[in-house]
A and B are shown apart, each in its own frame.
Chain A
């Protein structure tokens, strides 16, 4: 079974708006990562947050982590049509280097 569940499953917004995606997981983790997948392509790493961190920024991306609630959120500010993609959270539970992926959020940014 998958570790992460993402919410919403699909999101449609207007260019310039912010997009927020949420991820919940079941067990304790070492870190949580967000990946992006354009249609028909492989995954690209966006950002990683460690279990002892609460918030991290990278460009227009902001990730938060609440280990007490076992949840994370990814915020994309000032979205662009090029941000249209599927976004996946993935958790690394221990030092095994294995990632467990969520089911993803499909983001559509309308021009």
Chain B
């Protein structure tokens, strides 16, 4: 049981390049999330998927797209990377069972855009 996994762990991009961050969970959770964390700050929600087949914008969705490929996988795509997207990206998941509100986080992807 690996929990939430993210690939890659590190990435350096040039301005204008595109890339996809991958996230997978093996806990059979319904909901999945993408956050970004800038230095010295808390996490900000980019996009989330409350259940398979649905996605919604969070606080800071501009410049990103997401795909909920199936129940396990939720990817985040940067179509044209900008230096302002340099950050650490975290994926999380949670079940929708009543009374279980904990989010489980992956280890993060450190992205630098030059």
A60 to B23, CA, bound (A): 33
User: Which one of A4, A31, A43, A90 contacts B90 once the chains associate, using CB atoms below 8 Å?
Assistant: A43
How many positions in chain B have a CB within 8 Å of any CB in the partner chain?
Answer: 26
User: Which one of A31, A41, A98, A103 contacts B45 once the chains associate, using CB atoms below 8 Å?
Assistant: A98
Binds A, one of B13-21, B64-72, B99-107: B99-107
Contact B101 A48 (CB under 8 A): yes
Q: Does B58 contact A (CB under 8 A)?
A: yes
Contact A97 B42 (CB under 8 A): no
Contact A41 B94 (CB under 8 A): no
Contact B107 A48 (CB under 8 A): no
Contact A2 B42 (CB under 8 A): yes
Q: Does B2 contact A (CB under 8 A)?
A: no
Q: Does B28 contact A (CB under 8 A)?
A: no
Contact B106 A42 (CB under 8 A): yes
Question: B interface vs A, CB < 8 Å?
Answer: 4, 31, 33, 35, 40-45, 48, 50, 58-59, 90, 92, 94, 96, 101-108
Question: A interface vs B, CB < 8 Å?
Answer: 1-2, 4, 31, 33, 40-45, 48, 88, 90, 92, 96-104
A-B contact pairs, 27 of them (CB 8 A): A2-B41, A33-B101, A41-B107, A41-B108, A42-B4, A43-B92, A43-B103, A43-B105, A45-B102, A45-B103, A48-B102, A88-B43, A97-B31, A97-B48, A97-B96, A98-B45, A98-B48, A99-B43, A100-B45, A100-B59, A101-B35, A101-B42, A101-B43, A101-B44, A103-B42, A104-B41, A104-B42
